[in-house]
């Protein structure tokens, strides 16, 4: 695989990571993905909350967690309280309810800043991948593996890929901002 193809693959992974990070930001609607990174101490083993029970969203601003093992209810509740969600879980002895409050205008603006920061970090990563690819291309030219024309073509391809992925990031960020700012 040449340097440009490798760079494109890494850039694609960067986009996937960005999408995954943004999916865990809540935008006023209950989304089970916000629980993905919360771990529960289950008999001494850190276990993802989504492996410990059924997670449902019966209403737009409500998540219901029904544990497979009812004895784990307290541990799940403890993990939710320790998390950065900022939501107090409601425990009725059988299941846990998470009621997501409406986002205030101030909180929406904070979330937009976080989204933009993550977008900028992704762009920096993309540019870093391009720089690495260009260094590999220059080394190949220096070692006599490729011609000067090949070098120019490959560097242009790397730049085109970079521009394309940066445009994708801008669109992903704009879509997420729109989703957050919608009332």
pTM beyond 0.85, yes or no: no
Structure confidence at residue 183 as a pLDDT band (50, 70, 90): low
d(CA 130, CA 43) in angstroms, rounded, equals 45
Domain that includes residue 63, residue range: 32-99
CATH (domain of 38): 3.30.1360.40
CATH (domain of 123): 1.10.132.20
- Stated as kind and residue range, the H or E segment containing 166 is helix 148-181
Candidate from 11-15, 27-31, 61-65, 135-139 with smallest mean pLDDT: 27-31
Condensed to tens digits (0 to 9), the pLDDT of residues 84-133 reads 777 788 888 888 888 877 777 887 888 888 899 999 999 999 999 999 99
Examine the fold and report which residue of 74, 99, 124 is the final residue of a domain before the chain moves on. 99
SS3 category, 25 = coil
Give the pLDDT mean for 141-155: 90
CB neighbour list of residue 62: distance below 8 Å, 6 or more residues apart: 30, 97, 98, 99, 100
Q: Are both 66 and 155 inside the same structural domain?
A: no
Condensed to tens digits (0 to 9), the pLDDT of residues 49-81 reads 888 888 888 887 888 999 998 888 888 888 888
**Sheet of strand 96-99, all strands in order from the earlier edge strand to the far edge:** 53-59, 62-67, 96-99, 90-91
Write down the pLDDT at residue 26: 62
Q: Are both 95 and 113 inside the same structural domain?
A: no
SS3 category, 69 = coil
For the chain, the domain total comes to: 2
């Amino acid at each position: 695989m040449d340097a440009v193809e490798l760079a494109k693959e890494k850039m694609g992974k960067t986009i996937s990571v960005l999408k995954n990070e943004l999916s865990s930001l809540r935008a006023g609607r209950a989304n089970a993905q916000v629980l993905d990174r919360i771990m529960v101490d289950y008999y001494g083993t850190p276990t993802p909350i989504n492996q410990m029970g059924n997670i449902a969203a019966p209403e737009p601003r409500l998540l219901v967690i029904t544990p497979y093992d009812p004895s784990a209810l307290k541990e799940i509740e403890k993990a939710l309280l320790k998390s950065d969600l900022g939501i107090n879980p409601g425990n009725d002895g059988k299941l846990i309810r998470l009621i997501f409050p409406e986002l205030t205008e101030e909180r929406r603006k904070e979330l937009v800043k976080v989204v933009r920061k993550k977008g900028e970090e992704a762009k920096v990563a993309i540019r870093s991948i391009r720089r690495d690819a260009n260094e590999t291309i220059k080394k190949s030219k220096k070692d006599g593996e490729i011609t000067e024309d090949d070098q120019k073509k490959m560097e242009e391809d790397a730049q085109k890929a970079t521009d394309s992925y940066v445009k994708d990031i801008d669109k992903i960020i704009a879509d997420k901002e729109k989703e957050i700012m919608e009332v």
